[in-house]
Each structure stands twice: as C-alpha cells, then as structure tokens.
Amino acid sequence: MLLSFCIAMGRPNNEANFATGFCIMSADSNTFESVKAVILSAHKSTTSEEKVGFYNRWAENYDQDVAVLDYRAPSLAADCISSHFSSVREAAVVLDVACGTGLVAKHMKKLGFEHFVGVDGSEAMLGRARESGLYQDLKQCMLGEEPLPVRWGSFDVVVIVGALSAGQVPISIARHLCNATKPDGFICMTTRSNQDNLEYKAALDSELRKMEEEELWTCLEVTEVKDWERAVSEKEDGYISGVVYLYKKL
C-alpha cells in the first residue's frame, strides 16, 4: 500500500468526510493537480487511528489515485523479485506486508506467483484485496504496534512496498520481515529517497547493513530508481526517486 507522511487525499465529496479532516477524491476529480493540491495541504502528523480511518475511506478510489501519481513501486518490486527467484513460482508462498488493495500481488501474479498472504492495517483495504481473489489469507495488523500475525520462517518471499517511510512503519519491522522468511527465502523492501524521506532512509540503510553484519541475510540487490513517482512537494519537480532492496535470508 502506498504510505507516506504526506498521505494523498482528494477533495471532499461529502460533509461527513470533510468533518473528519480526511477528504476522499471523487472518481471524476482525481487529476494530478487535485491530488497534488490536497497533499500539499496535508503535511501534518496524525495518529494511527486517523491514518487507518483515512485508508478505510480511501480504499474505494486508491488504485485510480495512485495511477495518477504514476506510482511504480509495486511493479518495480515484483520485477526485482522475479529477476532473482529461480525456484518453482507456482509453489512459492508470498507474504505481502502492507498489501493495500493488492497491487504487488497483481504484478507478481503476472510473473507466475500464485500463493499470497496479505497483511494490512486497514479493513477496507483488505476488503478490496479480498475482492481481487489473489490472496489465500488476509490478516489485519497495525504494523509496528503489533507483531506480524504469521508463523516465523514460513514464507518463500516477503515483500513490503510503500510502507517504509517517515511517519509510517518503524524501521524495526525489517527484523520481523526477516523472521517471517524461510532460510534462503527473499525479502524485498522499498522506500523513497526524496528530500522528505532522507533521514528515514539513512536510518533504514544503517539497520539493513547491521542485519547483514549479524549474518541474518545477505544483500542481493539495491536498485536506485530515478522516476519512482510524480513529485508533489513544492521543493521538487517532475519525479521523485526511490529504492528497491532485495535480501536473501541466511
């Protein structure tokens, strides 16, 4: 799921949504300029309950709205995993953390993966993921506040896309992702490397290196991507950059 400190909100389409402080974009107003304008007005911290409430309301239009942002992280992560995965894909079990509506699973399905377990904090997002028919199991969990509701060492691939960013999932989740993975399994993560996320990214990089020094996993690939998604900050133009990490558990 696309998660960032400056969460993308749309214009109000009814008074009830406006009163909550979160506005959901209507189907005919999700232009880039409308998305950008509201994001720029939403640079404030929120509680976990407020964030989940927003995503519950955003679920209906989520896929259309992130398409406006040309959000490429789900396909980039899927391609990265695919380029290194040499086992039988039809038999692999994938844990999709912060799965949202299922964008990562949709891309991985096209690449031959078939078995998915999804975890997300928003029940409405999980509902949309359930409608996709891609997941054999879906679990609700507040990432960083609750342990992952899965059995350790049981997944061939663990992937988290969009949730590793400032104000969202804590960096400590990386160890949980590793714990959930089978020996020789793959862990794929993404984060943004734009100006607003540089401090978080530096701390994440430090933790990932520390885990490698502890011989928990080995790094297979770190790919810097220039055109990650369309920039919405007044300090940036065009596209912001991002990173795909791929590790193999030892």
What is the arithmetic mean of pLDDT over 3-23? 38
What is the arithmetic mean of pLDDT over 169-190? 97
Sorted by where each starts, the structural domains of the chain and their CATH numbers stand as: 15-68 (no CATH), 73-249 (3.40.50.150)
Structure tokens at 201: 């990214």
Starting at the edge strand found earlier in the chain, the sheet holding 239-249 runs 135-140, 115-120, 93-97, 155-160, 181-192, 239-249, 217-230
Helix (H, G, I), strand (E, B) or coil at 110: helix
Q: pLDDT digits over 117-164, tens only?
A: 999 999 999 999 999 999 999 999 999 899 999 999 999 999 999 999
Query: What is d(CA 180, CA 163) in angstroms, rounded to the nearest whole number?
Result: 17
pLDDT of residue 40: 56
Q: Is the pLDDT of residue 2 over 90?
A: no
Q: pLDDT digits over 192-208, tens only?
A: 999 989 999 999 999 99
Structure tokens at 241: 């950059």
pLDDT of residue 61: 83
Q: pLDDT digits over 40-96, tens only?
A: 544 454 788 888 887 888 788 889 888 988 999 999 999 999 999 999 999 999 999
Q: pLDDT digits over 18-43, tens only?
A: 334 444 444 456 788 876 655 554 44
Q: pLDDT digits over 219-235, tens only?
A: 999 999 999 999 878 78
Query: What is d(CA 103, CA 124) in angstroms, rounded to the nearest whole number?
Result: 15
Rg over alpha carbons for the chain, rounded to the nearest Å, is 17
Beta-ladder partners of 116 = 94, 135
Q: Give pTM, 2 decimals.
A: 0.88
Q: Is the pLDDT of residue 113 over 50?
A: yes
Q: Is the pLDDT of residue 7 over 50?
A: no
Let me know: does 245 contact 208? Beta carbons within 8 Å. Answer: yes
pLDDT band at 236; cut points 50, 70, 90:
confident
Q: How far apart are the first and last CA of the chain?
A: 27
Query: What is d(CA 220, CA 245) in angstroms, rounded to the nearest whole number?
Result: 8
